[in-house]
Amino acid sequence: MIKVQSKINIKSRQEKIWNFLNNISLGLSFNRFHTKINTQNSFSIDQDKNITIEHNFGFGKYDMILTLLESSPNHKIVFEEKSKVVKDELFNHKTTFTINQKTHNLSELKYIVEGTFKNKFADLSFKPILKGVMLDELIKMKLAIESSESDRNQNQYNPV
C-alpha cells in the first residue's frame, strides 16, 4: 500500500475549486492515467452513480469504476477507483481532495492518493511516478482554475 500527497495554493475561492472538482469532465480529465471518462450524461459526482474511467498505467487500457465515498461541499471529496474486472491487477486506490480557504481569494488544494497493485515491488516502483503525475495534475488544475477566474474578471472588448 502506498500513500502520496501533494498540495498547491490556488488564487481562487473555495467554492470555485469545489465546482471544478465536482465536474467530472473537468476535475478528473487532467490525470494522465485517465484516457476516457464515461460520465453517462452526468457531469457531477453523485453517490448513486458509478462512473467508468478507462485507465492506462503503462501496460494497456483497463476500465475502473469510480465510486463516491464522501462529499462535503466546498471542502472535501473522497472517491475510490477499483478495477472493473477483479482478476486485473490494477492500482485500486482512494483519492481525497481537500480545499481550505486561506485568504479571501486564495485556497489550498490538498490531494492524497492511497492504493496498491497488491504487489510490493510494483507499489515501490510506481510511487515516484504517481508523485510526478499528481504534481503535474495539480499544476494543470491550478492554471485552469486561475485562468478561468482571470478571464471572468477582464473586460471584454466590444467592437460595436
Q: Give residue-wise pLDDT tens across range 127-158.
A: 999 999 899 989 999 999 999 755 444 444 44
> Which pLDDT does position 44 carry in this prediction?
55
> Which pLDDT does position 151 carry in this prediction?
47
| Residue 18 host element (H or E) | helix 14-22
Distance between CA atoms of residues 136 and 8, nearest Å: 11
Q: Is there a contact between 6 and 103 (Cβ–Cβ < 8 Å)?
A: no
Q: Which residue has the cell 492518493?
A: 113
Question: CB-based contacts of 77: which residues, under 8 Å, 6+ apart?
Answer: 18, 21, 22, 45, 68, 70, 71, 96, 97
Task: List the beta strands (DSSP E) in 23-152.
Answer: 34-38, 51-56, 61-72, 76-83, 92-103, 106-116
Q: Is there a contact between 47 and 61 (Cβ–Cβ < 8 Å)?
A: no
> Which pLDDT does position 26 carry in this prediction?
65
Q: Is there a contact between 76 and 70 (Cβ–Cβ < 8 Å)?
A: yes
Tens-place pLDDT, residues 19-70 = 888 876 666 767 767 766 666 544 455 555 667 877 777 777 888 888 889 9
> Which pLDDT does position 148 carry in this prediction?
79
In the DSSP assignment, the letter for residue 131 is: H
- Which residues on adjacent β-strands are paired with residue 68? 79
- Please tell me which residue, 111 or 38, carries the higher pLDDT value: 111
Tens-place pLDDT, residues 60-101 = 788 888 888 998 999 999 989 888 887 777 888 999 999 999
